[in-house]
Amino acid sequence: MSQNFLHIQKEYLCQVWSRRPEELEAALPARRQGDCFHFQAFGEPCELYREEIILGRRRLTGPEGILIALYANQVPNEPLQFHPLKSFKELPESMPYQGAFATHAE
């Protein structure tokens, strides 16, 4: 089973490293040293290489590796916008659903 996880993880890592390293360094909350990105994941130091992910001192071959590789693959280039916050009813075309949630949420 872990071989299947490892295969999926490696596919995501290939997609991650298809981006330019400078672009990844700007997008990820990580510092780059050579061909490795260092950051915190699951409360431990994590190292993201082209072929593997090391969390703490162990090589990841399970679902945690997939999650980290998926995150690194999907991290956007532009910073996320947290403000101004929008309520559900301010979103376009949300009126039919807003009434059903308003009674339980407000």
Residue 95 included in any domain? no
Residue 41 included in any domain? yes
What does pLDDT average to over the chain? 85
Maximum CA extent, the chain: 54
Q: How many domains does the chain have?
A: 1
pTM above 0.85, yes or no: no
Please report which confidence band the pLDDT of residue 59 belongs to, taking 50, 70 and 90 as the band edges. very high
Residue 28 included in any domain? yes
Q: For 13-41, what is each residue's pLDDT tens digit?
A: 999 999 988 888 888 889 999 889 999 99
Residue 9 included in any domain? yes
Residue 88 included in any domain? no
Residue 61 included in any domain? yes
Ramachandran sector of residue 78 (left: φ over 0; alpha: ψ -120 to 50; beta: rest): beta
Please report which confidence band the pLDDT of residue 95 belongs to, taking 50, 70 and 90 as the band edges. low
Residue 46 included in any domain? yes
Q: What's the domain range around 70? A: 2-74
The CA-atom distances, in angstroms, between 102 and each of 25, 64, 99 are 42, 37, 5
Q: Which residue has the tokens 């407000």?
A: 106
Model confidence at 100: pLDDT above 90: no
